[in-house]
Chain A
Amino acid sequence: FQVEYAMEAVKRGSAVVGVRGADCVVLGVERKAVAQLQDARTIRKICKLDDHLTIAFAGFTADARVLIEKARIEAQSYRLTCEDAPSIDYMARHIAKTQQSYTQRGGVRPFGVSSMISGFNSDKSPQLYLTDPAGTYSAWKAHAIGGRNEKAVQEFLEKNWTATLAEDESIRLTIKALLEVVDSGSKNMEVVVSRCGEKVRNLTEEELEVIIADIEREQEEAKKSNQEATAMET
């Protein structure tokens, strides 16, 4: 049962969307409205696991902090022994192993965290991995966790994902998927783009505003042309 409760905790967390493009990976998170006196900058939902790996999580923030801490130490320990950067598969497997070990011991409860890890393989292909409280890990082309309607966002992604998404198209798809659950506004989301070999890029509020305005304009026009089409039919 504990594992199911943990999965429920993840469902109640804020939404995370990950999209794998042709040469980049985009992670978008919903930033829930902060209280008036709270400093929004201190809430980090997308964290660096290592120079080339980024992780976003949904669920208990405190559990995620502990998990990410363990993962970071493991990444550096791997670098110390193997003098090489850990592969994203290795890190996902390690995080999943940690989560699983907490489901099969006495006196502990599972981590109420699902995480999405973005990175690149040794052959420079982009990868998106997902781990869940039960301890399974899998690679995805696009996925959504947490948020009000996880299923709806997932279906949206399934409909709109293609194998040849360029960087800006991947960003648009991520933001569109997030807009399904998030109230509009760049203040409510955070989007991070990883490209192979380059520093991970955090989209600024201005950039987000521009893209969101564009998407909304597109949706308005689509709605209008739909209305005109139905008006003509009747």
Chain B
Amino acid sequence: MDSVISLVGKDFGLIAIDTNSPRSVIILKNDLNKYIEIGKNKFLAVSGHPGDVSQFTDFIQKSIQLHSLKIGIPLSTHAIANFIRKEVSFCLRKSPVKINLILVGFDDSIGSSLYLIDYLGNLQRMNYCAQGHTSLLVFSLLDRHFQKEMNIEETIGLLVKCIGVIRNRFLINQPNFLIKIIDSKGCRGLGVL
């Protein structure tokens, strides 16, 4: 039910997440933050069952913090993505976590990167990604209009188009999309669309 759209631009990554918290047919809360910040400029957007989401992402965040304290230097996005994938795979054959994660991070050496880890333990590095039922609507738009190394205005323009299509065609009302940007300065919000 959650919608997450994520794109990678020139030296930054952008995520739009819907802020609804549904419970059967009612919206419990419409300003929920469905993300978690890991380290200074790594960002995890999660979609799935709320209980699994809290449990799993808290565990990931604290494990990665312990790791950075032990080693003394922060982990790269690539390492974090693989760590998360390992944890998901580990739980898969015992008690699977029903969550899909999009990890966006900025490393000084390689710039911004986007990784998708889905509930089966698939790990893919991508340039753009969408999660949830709305991915059916949004991927075709992203396929057509996405270009590598777009600047912020172009990326936000593309996001606005995607959210427009979601508002037009998706059955469920998702009034607010929280936009977050990750770049060398860290992770900050760009507002709500």
Contact = CB atoms under 8 A, between A and B. Distances in A.
A164 to B, nearest CB: 33
B58 A69 contact: no
Contacts of A69: 70
Interface string A131-165: 00000000000000000000000000000000000
Interface string B79-113: 00000000000000000000000000000000000
B59 interface: yes
Interface string A62-89: 0000000100110111011001000000
A77 B69 CA distance: 13
B131 to A, nearest CB: 25
A72 B62 contact: no
Contacts of B58: 80, 83
B136 interface: no
Nearest to B63: A76
A150 B12 CA distance: 54
A80 B59 contact: yes
Contacts of A48: 69
B147 interface: no
Chain B contact surface mostly: helix
Chain A contact surface mostly: helix
A72 B69 contact: yes
A50 interface: yes
A80 B62 contact: yes
B59 A72 contact: no
Interface in B116-154: none
Interface string A33-64: 00000000000000011100000000000000
A89 B43 CA distance: 32
B176 interface: no
Interface string B51-83: 000000011001101100110000000000000
Contacts of B65: 76, 79
Contacts of B66: 72-73, 75-76
A50 B69 contact: yes
Given A76-B63, A76-B66, 14 more contacts: A48-B69, A49-B69, A50-B69, A69-B70, A72-B69, A73-B66, A75-B66, A76-B65, A76-B69, A79-B62, A80-B58, A80-B59, A80-B62, A83-B58
21 contacts: A48-B69, A49-B69, A50-B69, A69-B70, A72-B66, A72-B69, A72-B70, A73-B66, A75-B66, A76-B62, A76-B63, A76-B65, A76-B66, A76-B69, A77-B62, A79-B62, A79-B65, A80-B58, A80-B59, A80-B62, A83-B58
Interface of B: 58-59, 62-63, 65-66, 69-70
Interface of A: 48-50, 69, 72-73, 75-77, 79-80, 83
Please give me the 7 A-B residue pairs with the lowest Cβ-Cβ distance, nearest first. Answer: A76-B66, A80-B62, A76-B62, A72-B69, A79-B62, A48-B69, A80-B58
